[in-house]
Amino acid sequence: MQDIQAYIESGILELYALGDLSSAERAEVEAQAARHPAVRQELTQVQAALGLYAEAHAITPPAGMRERVLGHVLANLNSPVAETPATPASRPATSSLRADVDELVQSRHAETTTSTPVLPLNAPEPVAPARSSGWAIAASVALLLSLVGNALLYNNWQQANGELVALQNDNARIAAATQANYRQQLGAMQEQNAILRNDEFRAVALAGTKAAPAAKARVLYNLATKAVYVDVKNLPALPADKQYQLWALDNGKPVDAGTLAVGTAAGDSLQHMKDIASAQAFAMTVEPAGGSVNPTLSTMTVMGAI
Amino acid sequence: MAASPGCCHFHLSGIPVSDSPPISLPSAAEEALVERLRARDEAAMTEFYDRYAAALYGVIFRIVKAEDEAEDVLQEAMVKIWHAFASYDASKGRLFTWVVNICRNLSIDKIRSRQHRVGSRTMGLDDSLTAQRQAAPATFRPEHIGLQEITQTLIPEQRQIIDLLYFEGYTQSEVAEELDLPLGTVKTRARTAIKLLSKLIR
């Protein structure tokens, strides 16, 4: 039972629902769901949650689209493609959506290449006159095997080719993404540098409270523009459903200065917080993700006066 | 067991449901439609369109980001759904889940086959977080269920991860790389976000 709970919490069901698994992994998830009602229930919930997310983003299609799409679709229901959805029974019960659809496309694709050599198996006439000549039969069988072999090799080659293209695409995209990322990081660092060198900013050291003596951070407060930046040196890590929230204390009253992104809390970079009109001190508390209206004082982690 | 995956304990609380129940949740109407499609009833495709087109078009449009291409993909998807219907297995999931995934796959294939794909996709990267912080575009149907609840339920960082995973076809490792986060953080955030979403149901 604990194993099942661990399995559910591993996040694999989310990956399944997002279509982020290999076919072997998908088969494994489906087997688990068939075996354990708890897994099935969780998976149904995950799918329903994503379905709700999709549905919430519904867009009314443009005028005239209904007629065009339905016209095209209804005209294509009986097209030759209709021959292919055959062999649902021969398909392994474990295959999932993506595989099913891909298979369908491939079978349509491969039809031209594979169907010709395979046909004689179902249509025994040409081979039928079995004139007790073992040689003729043996030759036919050899020819058939060779044809089937060729078809398989052709299929494999095509598949490998497709995978190569996909890999090249991935490669190009990752390279471009990395570059964009570096550019972004460089821009952020230049901005931070400008803030750190700006004399208008006043650094306010925030020291750890009893709850977290090693915690340390500082606030950069621009008294002229009222801009507030936070710079973390060290803060205890939080669970995913919690966030640090910065508060300005103005005449003893806490004013929300915004929540800290995970990267900021880890000390990766400065974060621009909400503008604060006036403050004598700053403090940070631990709040539920998204932040709170009022600080939970018992979770105060760092504090410092201007 | 899988015959009625929680047929009765789903209902929406706090979500303004205008007239019909959300199509992403199970219903007798869906079962009837499945029966008709299984029986190869061509008229059922019209009903299918009226029931699902807006939701599917929304998903497709979010991925391909162009009206004419979105229409092509929806058309292609419906033909595929008809021909591949024998492979739909109700015990593995709801009809809506199945058809949304077909649409997502076709849309992702579409943008991957575009020549300018690399360019157009990285263009979005720099602005993606900013875009998430903005309010929902006007093309979204404001009267439609849930979007408001979703913006209230998920913080922008969570929405961004779900959007990348669900609408952009990223893997979790790609999201981690893109957002420069540890893979573990991406996993927990995705899981937390989906958990929060499923609390909107029931």
Domain ends where: B91, B114, B137? B114
Is residue B201, in this structure, part of any structural domain at all? yes
Mutation target vs A (from B17, B57, B110; most A CBs, 10 A cutoff): B57
Q: Where residue B95 falls among pLDDT bands split at 50, 70, 90?
A: very high
Is the pLDDT assigned to residue B99 strictly greater than 80? yes
Q: Which of B50, B80, B114 is the last residue of a domain?
A: B114
B48 and B36 both lie in a single domain: yes
Same domain, B136 and B99: no
On whether both A205 and A150 belong to a single domain, the answer is no
Question: Does the beta carbon of A31 lie under 8 angstroms from any beta carbon of chain B?
Answer: no
From chain B, pick out residues whose CB is under 8 angstroms from the CB of A19. Answer: 101, 104-105, 169
- Amino acid letter at B3? A
Is there a single domain that holds both residue B175 and residue B132?
yes
- How near does any CA of chain B get to the CA of A53, in Å? 8
Residue bearing the bigger pLDDT, A114 or B57: B57
The reply to whether A188 and A138 lie within a common domain is: yes
User: Considering only CB atoms, which chain A residues are within 8 Å of B182?
Assistant: none
Q: Residue A122 burial (CB < 10 Å; 0-12/13-18/19+)?
A: exposed
The mean per-residue pLDDT over the stretch A128-148 comes to: 77
- CB neighbourhood size of B162 (10 A): 22
Range of the domain at A32: 2-117
What CATH number should be reported for the domain holding residue B122? 1.10.10.10
Residues B86 and B48 in one domain: yes
For B172-201, the pLDDT digits (tens) are: 999 999 999 999 999 989 999 998 888 877
Confirm whether B10 is domain-assigned: no
Tell me which residue in B71, B97, B147 faces A69 most closely, judged by beta carbons. Answer: B71
- From chain A residues 105-164, the ones with a CB under 8 A of any chain B CB are none
A145 and A220 within one domain: no
**Residue A119 pLDDT more than 50?**
no
Q: Number of folded domains in chain A?
A: 3
How many distinct structural domains can be found in chain B?
Answer: 2
Reported confidence tier of residue B8, pLDDT bands at 50, 70, 90: very low
Query: Among B56, B81, B114, where does a domain finish?
Result: B114
A155 Cβ contact list (under 8 Å, min separation 6): A110, A113, A114
B124 and B152 co-located in one domain: yes
Do A8 and A113 lie in one domain? The reply is: yes
State how beta strands A271-272 and A281-288 pair: unpaired
Please check whether residues A51 and A87 belong to one and the same domain.
yes
Judge: B58–A54 Cβ closer than 8 Å, yes or no. yes
Judge if A151 and A212 occupy the same domain.
no
Confidence at residue A130, expressed as pLDDT on a 0 to 100 scale:
47
User: Do A48 and A151 lie in a common domain?
Assistant: no
> Cα separation of A282 and A288, whole Å?
19
Whether residues A189 and A216 fall in one domain: no
Give the tens place of pLDDT for each residue, A198-218. 878 888 999 998 888 899 999
Could you say which of A117, A144, A165 is where a domain stops? Answer: A117
User: B1 to chain A nearest CA, in Å?
Assistant: 7
Q: What is the chain A residue with the closest CA to B12?
A: A52
Q: What are the DSSP calls for B45-93, one per residue? A: HHHHHHHHHHHHHHHHHHHH--HHHHHHHHHHHHHHHHHTGGG--GGGS
User: Is the model more confident about A294 or about B5?
Assistant: A294
The confidence band for B149, taking pLDDT boundaries of 50, 70 and 90, is confident
Q: Does one domain contain both A107 and A70?
A: yes
The fraction of chain A above a pLDDT of 70, given in percent, is 82
In a domain, B185, yes or no: yes
What values do phi and psi take at A140, rounded to 5?
A: -60, -45
Cβ atoms of B150 and B22 closer than 8 Å: no
Residue A233 and residue A191 in one domain:
no
The band of B23, judged by pLDDT with boundaries at 50, 70 and 90, is low
pLDDT grade for A304, boundaries at 50, 70 and 90: very high
Statement to judge: residues B57 and B103 lie in one domain: yes
Q: Which residue of B has its CA nearest to A66?
A: B49
pLDDT of residue B21: 60
A29 touches chain B (CB under 8 A): no
Give the per-residue pLDDT at B19.
43
ipTM: 0.75
For residues A180 and A268, state if they share a domain.
no
Closest CA to B122 of B63, B181, B178: B178
Interface residue of B191, B192, B196, B202 to substitute, partner A, most A CBs within 10 Å: B191
Least confident of A83-87, A176-180, A185-189: A83-87
Q: A58 and B61: CB-CB below 8 Å?
A: no
Residues 35-74 of A with CB under 8 A from B: 37, 40-41, 43-62, 65-66, 68-70, 72-74
Q: Round the average pLDDT of chain B to a whole number and report it.
A: 76
Q: Is A75 on the interface with B (CB under 8 A)?
A: no
Q: List pLDDT tens digits, range A20-56.
A: 888 899 999 999 999 999 999 999 999 988 988 888 8
Residue B16 included in any domain: no
Banded pLDDT at B26 (limits 50, 70, 90): low
Of B75, B97, B102, the CB nearest to A72: B75
B34 compared with B134, residue with greater pLDDT: B34
Domain range for residue B196?
117-202
The count of CB pairs under 8 A between chains A and B is 251
Higher pLDDT residue, A122 or B66? B66
Residues B47 and B101 in one domain: yes
Task: State whether B94 and A14 contact (CB < 8 Å).
Answer: no
**What is the Cα–Cα distance from B87 to B93, expressed in whole angstroms?**
12
Domain for residue B153, yes or no?
A: yes
Q: Which residue has the higher pLDDT, B83 or B26?
A: B83
Q: Is the model's pLDDT at B76 over the cut of 90?
A: yes
DSSP string, chain A: -HHHHHHHHTTHHHHHHHT-S-HHHHHHHHHHHHH-HHHHHHHHHHHHHHHHHHHHT--PPPTTHHHHHHHHHHHHTTSGGGGTT--TTTS-TT--HHHHHHHHHHHHHHHHHHHHHHHHHH--TTTTT--S-HHHHHHHHHHHHHHHHHHHHHHHHHHHHHHHHHHHHHHHHHHHHHHHHHHHHHHHHHHHHHHHH-TTEEEEEEEE-TT-TT-EEEEEEETTT--EEEEEEE-----TTEEEEEEEEETTEEEEEEEPPHHHHTTSS-EE----S--SEEEEEEEETT--SS--GGG--EEEE-
At A257-290, the pLDDT tens digits run 999 988 888 888 888 899 999 999 999 999 998 8
Band (A301; pLDDT cuts 50, 70, 90):
very high
Of A180, A197, A214, the position where a domain reaches its end is: A197
Instruction: Tell me the HSE value of B124 on the side-chain side, using a 13 A CA sphere.
Output: 18
DSSP symbols for B86-148: GG--GGGS-HHHHHHHHHHHHHHHHHHH-TTHHHHHHHHHHHHHHHHHSPPPTTS-TTSSSHH
Which of A177, A197, A217 is the last residue in one of the domains? A197
| Cβ–Cβ gap A61/B57 under 8 Å | yes
State how far the Cα of B45 lies from the Cα of A304, in Å rounded to an integer. Answer: 66
Q: State the pLDDT at residue A80.
A: 55
Task: Give the gap in angstroms from C-alpha A30 to the nearest C-alpha of chain B.
Answer: 7
Q: Do B180 and A172 touch (CB under 8 A)?
A: no
Q: Are residues B109 and B142 in the same domain?
A: no
- CB spacing of B71 vs A100 below 8 angstroms: no
Q: What is the pLDDT of residue B198?
A: 85
Instruction: Tell me the pLDDT band of A302, cut-offs 50, 70 and 90.
Output: very high
B136 & B166 share domain: yes
